[in-house]
Amino acid sequence: MAKNESYYSGEKYNLLAKKQGYRSRAAFKLVQIDKEENILKKNLNIIDLGCAPGGWSQVVSERLKGTGSIVGIDILNMLRLKGVEFIQCDLRNFDVSQLKTTIDVVISDIAPNISGVNLVDDANMIDLLEIELSIVDKTLVKGGNFLAKCFQGESLEYLTLNLKKRFKILKRKKPLASRNISKEVYVLGLNKI
Ligand SMILES: C[S@@+](CC[C@H](N)C(=O)[O-])C[C@H]1O[C@@H](n2cnc3c(N)ncnc32)[C@H](O)[C@@H]1O
The residues spanned by each domain of the chain are: 26-192
The CA distance from 104 to 140, in Å, is 6
- Tell me the pLDDT tens digit for each residue of 15-37: 999 999 999 999 999 999 999 99
The values of phi and psi at residue 113, to 5°, are: -65, 130
Instruction: Please determine, for residue 9, whether its predicted confidence score (pLDDT) is greater than 80.
Output: no
Q: Is 165 assigned a catalytic role?
A: no
- C-beta separation of 47 from 60 below 8 A: no
> Is 26-192 in CATH node 1.10.1740.10?
no
- Which atom of ligand 1 approaches the CA of 54 most closely? 9
Instruction: Please determine, for residue 5, whether its predicted confidence score (pLDDT) is greater than 60.
Output: no
Residue nearest to atom 26 of ligand 1 (CA): 50
- Tell me the pLDDT tens digit for each residue of 113-141: 989 898 999 999 999 999 999 999 999 99
Q: How far is the CA of 54 from the centre of ligand 1 (A)?
A: 9
The CA distance from 115 to 95, in Å, is 28
- C-beta separation of 72 from 57 below 8 A: yes
Of 173, 190, 177, 189, the closest CA to residue 25 belongs to: 177
**One-letter amino acid identity for 136?**
V
Asked if omega into 112 is within 30° of 0 (cis), the reply is: no
Of 184, 140, 136, 178, the closest CA to residue 24 belongs to: 178
Q: How far is the CA of 134 from the centre of ligand 1 (A)?
A: 18
Q: Taking CB atoms and a 6 Å cutoff, what residues make up the pocket around ligand 1?
A: 23-24, 26-27, 50-56, 74-76, 90-92, 109-112
Asked if omega into 175 is within 30° of 0 (cis), the reply is: no
- Tell me the pLDDT tens digit for each residue of 61-98: 999 999 999 999 999 999 999 999 999 999 999 999 99
What is the overall mean pLDDT for the chain? Answer: 94
Neighbouring C-beta atoms of residue 120, cutoff 10 Å = 13
Q: How far is the CA of 53 from the centre of ligand 1 (A)?
A: 8
pTM (2 decimals)? 0.95
